[in-house]
Chains A and B, each alone.
Chain A
Amino acid sequence: MSPQLIYPLIGAGLFSLGLYGLIVHSHLLRKILAINIMGSGVFLILVALAKRSGEMPDPVPHAMVITGIVVAVSATALALAMMLKLHTETGRTDLPDDQQT
C-alpha cells in the first residue's frame, strides 16, 4: 500500500465511523459530534489526495476545506443552540420517535 493512500483511507474510515455514530446514538450532542467527525473524514480525503502533485500541494482543496470548517462550526453552533432550547422546553436531549413515517 503506497503511503499516500493511508490518509484517504483514514478519511473514509472517519466518514463511516461518523455515519454509524449519527445513526446509532440518540443523544443530540453525540449526533452533533458524529456529524463533525464525518465532516473531518471528508476534509481528510480532500486534502490527502491534494498532496499527489509533488512538493507544492494543490491549494484548491485546502481552500475548500477551510470553507468546510467554517460551515461546520456554523452548523454546529446552530445545532447546539437548538439542542439547548429543546432541552429547556422538553427536558430531553433526544428527538421523540413518535413521528409517523
Chain B
Amino acid sequence: MLSMLAQIPFDAILILLPLGAGMLSFLWPVIARALGLLTTVAVLMSVIGLGWQIQQSGSHIHLLGGWSAPLGIQLYADGLSLLMLAATAIVGFAVSIYATRYFSRRHDEVRFWPVWLLLLGALNALFLAADIFNLYVTLELLGLAAVALTALTGSRQALVGAMRYLFATLLGSLCYLLGVALLYQTYGTVDIALLGELLESSPGVWAALGLITTGLVLKTALFPFHFWLPPAHASAPAPVSAVLSALVVKASFYILLRLWLTLFNPTDDSINNLLGLLGATAVLWGSIQAFRQTRLKLLIAYSTVAQIGYLFLAFPLAAASGGLAWNAVAYLALSHALAKAAMFLTAGNLIHFDGHDRIADLDRVVQRLPVTAWAFALAGVSIMGLPPSGGFIGKWLLLEAALKQGNWGIVTVLVVGGLLAAAYIFKVLGNTFTEALHHHESSTSVPARMEWTAFGLALGAIILGFTATPVLEIINLGSPFSAREISP
C-alpha cells in the first residue's frame, strides 16, 4: 500500500487536476461549484501526499515528456516548493468554500470558477517548475488569470486597478523574459539546476540578473514598484483579493528566491543591501500608508505592501546567517498568506454585512459578527508579529539573524514596523469592538461559512506559532537553502 502511494505522481496531479477542472467547469457551468470544491480538496490531499513522498525519498523530479533537461522540461519539488504548495492548497480550499456563498449571482459565479481553477493550476505549475522559460509561461497564465479575476465586478475602480495591474505584470514578464533570453543564449539551457552549475560572472549574466530581478520585483510590488497593488487588491472581490495578496504576489517572490539561491547568489553586498533597503522602505512606507486609510480593504492592501518588505529584509542577512534568514522568510510567507487571506475575507464579510468598508463606521461588529471580528483580531496578531503566531516566529527568526550580525538598521526597522502595524490593526479593532454613535439597522446577515472560513485561516496563522520545529523541518527537505556562490 505504502509503496503504491510512493508511485502516485502527485506533482503531475497537482497541475493537471485544477487545469482540467477549470476547463470542465467552463463546459458545464452547473457543476462548477461542486467541481471547484472537490478540486481544492483533492489538491490539499495531493500536497500531503507529495510532502510524504519528499520526506521519504528527498526532493522529487519529474521528466515531462520523458525528456531530461536541457532538451526537455522538468518538474522539481523540495521543501520550499512544498511550503508554497501547502499555502496555496490551504488558502485555496478556504477561499473556495467562501466563494460558494460569496458569489450570490449566478452570473458572477459562472465567470469566477473556471478562471479561479486555472489560476490555482498556474500557481501549482509555478511552484513545481524547474525551468526558467516554463516559469515565464506559468507567470503569464497566472498574471492574466489574476487580472481577469480582479476585473470581475466590472466596477470602475476594479477596471482601473486591473488595468494598472495588467501593465505592471506584462512589463515585469517582459523584463523577466529578456533575462531568460540572455541566459539561454549564453549557456544553452533554461533548466535551473543546469544553469546553476554553469553560471559564471559576465556582463551578460549581470544584465540577466538585473532584468530578471527588476521584472520579478515589479510583480512582487516591492517599493517603489508597489503602485499597482493597493488599487488592484482593494477593488477586487474579497476572495480574489485574498488570493492575490496571499499567493499571487508570493509566486514571483518565490521565483526570485529560487533563482537567487540556485543561480545568482551574488556575494557582492551592494545588491543584497539595495533589496534590503527597498524592503525596509516598504515596511515603513506601507505601514504609514495603511494607517492613513479610511477604507478597510485599502488598509489591508497597504499592509501587504509592508509585509512584502519584511521578506526582502532577509537578503542582506542571508549570506552570514546560515539559512536562518531564509527560514524566517519562508515562515513569514506562509503566515502572511494565511493571515492576509483571513483579513480580506473578513473585509468581504463586513462589506456583505453593511454594504461598505469604511473603518470609522465599523461599529459594534463584535456584537453582530463576533466570529468575523475575532478572525480579524487573530489575523492581526500574526501581522503584528505578536506571540503566539506564525508572524511572531518569522519576525523572531529575522530579528535573531539581524542581532547576530549586529545589523541594527534592520533591528530598528523590525521594531518600528511592528509598532506601526499595531497602530493600523488597532485602528480597525478599536472601531469594531466599540459602540458607535449611530445605529445601522439595515444589514444583510453573513452566511456562516463565510465567517468560519475567515476564522479558520486566522486560527491557522496562530497555530503556526506553535508548530515552528516541524514546519521548519519540512521547509528544509531537500536543502533548498544551501546556495552556491558566484563572485563578481
Contact = CB atoms under 8 A, between A and B. Distances in A.
Chain B at the A interface: mostly helix, strand, loop or mixed?
helix
Contact of B151 (A38, A45, A82, A99): A82
A17 interface: no
A22 B133 CA distance: 24
B455 to A, nearest CB: 31
Contact of B227 (A42, A75, A79, A101): A101
A49 interface: yes
A100 B230 CA distance: 9
Chain B interface: which size bin? 20 to 34
A41 B144 CA distance: 21
Interface in A47-101: 49-50, 60-61, 64, 67-68, 71, 74-75, 78-79, 82-83, 85-86, 89-90, 95-96, 99-101
A72 to B, nearest CB: 9
A75 B156 CA distance: 20
A28 B160 CA distance: 11
Interface stretch (B48-56, B176-184, B312-320, B399-407): B176-184
Contact of B185 (A46, A85, A95): A46
B230 A95 contact: no
A79 B27 CA distance: 25
B16 interface: no
A85 B230 contact: no
A85 B147 CA distance: 14
Interface string B153-169: 01010011011101100
B395 interface: no
Contacts of A68: 177
A100 B178 CA distance: 30
Chain B CB within 10 A, most for which of A15, A45, A101? A101
Contact of A28 (B163, B182, B227): B163
Given A78-B148, A96-B160, A85 B174 contact: no
B144 A75 contact: yes
Contacts of B177: 42, 68
A25 B290 CA distance: 30
Nearest to B171: A22
Contacts of A45: 178, 181-182, 185
Contacts of A85: 151, 154, 159
Contact of A61 (B151, B184, B226, B231): B184
Chain A CB within 10 A, most for which of B154, B156, B181? B181
Interface of B: 133, 137, 140, 144, 147-148, 151, 154, 156, 159-160, 162-164, 166-167, 170-171, 174, 177-178, 181-182, 184-185, 224, 226-227, 230-231, 289
23 contacts: A28-B163, A42-B174, A42-B181, A45-B181, A45-B182, A46-B181, A60-B184, A61-B185, A64-B184, A71-B140, A75-B166, A75-B170, A78-B147, A79-B163, A79-B170, A82-B151, A82-B162, A83-B163, A85-B159, A86-B163, A89-B154, A89-B156, A99-B164
Interface of A: 15, 22, 28, 31, 35, 38-39, 41-42, 45-46, 49-50, 60-61, 64, 67-68, 71, 74-75, 78-79, 82-83, 85-86, 89-90, 95-96, 99-101
Given A45-B181, A78-B166, 10 more contacts: A49-B185, A68-B177, A71-B140, A75-B170, A79-B163, A82-B151, A82-B162, A86-B163, A99-B230, A101-B226
